Amino acid sequence: MGTFLKSFLIAILLFFFLGAVFFAGYAFHASLQPEDNFTILDQAYQILKDNGLKEIPPDPKMEYGMIKGMLQTYDDAYTIFLEPVQHELQTDSLQGRFGGIGARIEKADNGNWLLFPLPGGPAERANIQEGDILQSVDKLQVTDQTSQDTILAALRGPVGSPVTLTILRKRDQQPVELTLKREEIELPSVTWNLIPDQPNIGIMHVNLIADSTGQEIQEAVLDLKQKGATHFMLDLRDNPGGLLTAGVDVARLFLQEGVVLEQQYRGKDKQVFYVDKPGDLVNLPLVILINQNSASAAEIIAGALKAQNRAKLVGTNTFGKDSIQVVFNLHDQSSLHVTAAKWWIPGINTPIGNGGIQPDLFIDPTNDPNAPDPIILAATQILLTPEKSDNP
């Protein structure tokens, strides 16, 4: 083969080789590009930065504003953005516990933030006194402009980790620096008591559906039984919901068998949540109290028990939230909560999103704080009235 022909073939092969490398690199680069290029947003931001009279807010405040504007245009009431502080506090509530110092805070009329230690907690053992003025938490300087959420998030942290406080004693106005170790502090989602004048009826007030709610309900039932309760009310009024799986587990406590709920994500197969075995509280005489603020996971509990005729619902229609939000943690521990699925309960014919769950007995609440609660009175009547037998 001649020299010219060899050179020509080598040139052709080199051309195709370089071309393949170029197009492979181009394709790889293109695959890394986002589907949407926000060129108008970039242009508007640059114009504002270059020409605006005011300084651009510091990072990440501007980014947060952009995210909130995006979600406002997206227009889904339950797809929300939480800044790091709000995300941390919500996570604590849903877990039912957090690492803290065992103290509540309260803002005085003059703007000072005051500490009130809880019995037996790290704050009390460190000799923090009621009404001590909080001046700093680690590097956070506390002023009258510091939000409650910001202070709470600073006080909380991993169990066993240290936190340094500077406080001002009200007596002598001398600053004192204290270093405490955070301990596990429980955030109960359930409180309970016997109904006044009805010592055989216990009521369990569930304010949130958290990881710990099922266990707390079982503890409440045990304690109320020891005090003489034989019949029970589960008060889900003004409960905004919480964790879907925790709501399913609470419903399972009271059910013998069957389906609790079904759910479906976009493009996915339907998922079914069954009762795997009879619940520990399946024979507990029970009435459930609901109102227009009973939502989400609280509606799962009420709806599942209604669908299987396990308990009567007393009160007003529930809120009607039958969607599921998936939480995505962002780089700075803020979070995006995205509506990603729907759920429904077999046996509840009307979609829960259309008007909520209807009670078995509709009772209007009273606006008179001194009057007896008509919903509790009606539930008491149901519990104390023997069920009619079908036998002659």
Provide the pLDDT for residue 385. 87
Q: How confident is the model at residue 164 (pLDDT cuts 50, 70, 90)?
A: very high
Q: How confident is the model at residue 387 (pLDDT cuts 50, 70, 90)?
A: low
Alpha carbons 141 and 168: distance in angstroms, whole number? 13
Superfamily of domain 98-186 in CATH is PDZ domain (2.30.42.10)
pLDDT at 14 over 60: no
pLDDT at 378 over 70: yes
| Alpha-carbon dihedral 134, 139, 142, 143, rounded to 10 degrees | 140
Cβ contact 275:257 at 8 Å: yes
Alpha carbons 266 and 13: distance in angstroms, whole number? 48
Ranges of each domain in the chain: 98-186, 190-384
What are the pLDDT digits (tens) for 168-221?
987 777 899 999 999 999 889 999 999 988 999 999 999 999 999 999 999 999
Alpha carbons 241 and 164: distance in angstroms, whole number? 35
Same fold, 98-186 and 190-384: no
What are the pLDDT digits (tens) for 303-319?
999 999 999 999 999 99
Alpha carbons 366 and 375: distance in angstroms, whole number? 9
Q: How confident is the model at residue 2 (pLDDT cuts 50, 70, 90)?
A: low
Among 3.60.21.10, 3.90.1150.10, 3.40.50.2000, 3.90.226.10, name the CATH number for the domain at 190-384: 3.90.226.10
Alpha carbons 178 and 260: distance in angstroms, whole number? 50
Average the pLDDT over 285-310 and give the result.
97
Sequence-ordered alpha helix ranges (H) in the chain: 3-32, 39-51, 61-74, 84-95, 122-125, 148-155, 213-226, 244-254, 297-307, 374-384
- Cα distances (angstroms) measured from residue 213 to each of 43, 97, 134, 216: 49, 11, 32, 5
**Before 60, cis peptide (omega within 30)?**
yes
HSE value, Cβ hemisphere, 13 Å, CA-based, for 302: 40
What are the pLDDT digits (tens) for 325-357?
999 999 999 999 999 999 999 999 888 999 999
pLDDT at 278 over 90: yes
Higher pLDDT: 91 or 230? It is 230
Amino acid, res. 156:
R
Q: How confident is the model at residue 284 (pLDDT cuts 50, 70, 90)?
A: very high
Chain mean pLDDT for the chain: 89
Q: How confident is the model at residue 388 (pLDDT cuts 50, 70, 90)?
A: low
Locus of tokens 């890394």:
32
Q: Give the number of other CB atoms < 10 A from CB of residue 70.
A: 14
What are the pLDDT digits (tens) for 74-130?
999 999 999 999 999 898 888 888 999 999 998 988 999 999 998 889 999 999 998
Q: How confident is the model at residue 290 (pLDDT cuts 50, 70, 90)?
A: very high
Least-confidence region, from 30-34, 184-188, 201-205, 297-301: 30-34
Alpha carbons 157 and 130: distance in angstroms, whole number? 22
HSE value, Cβ hemisphere, 13 Å, CA-based, for 127: 5
Q: Report pTM.
A: 0.80
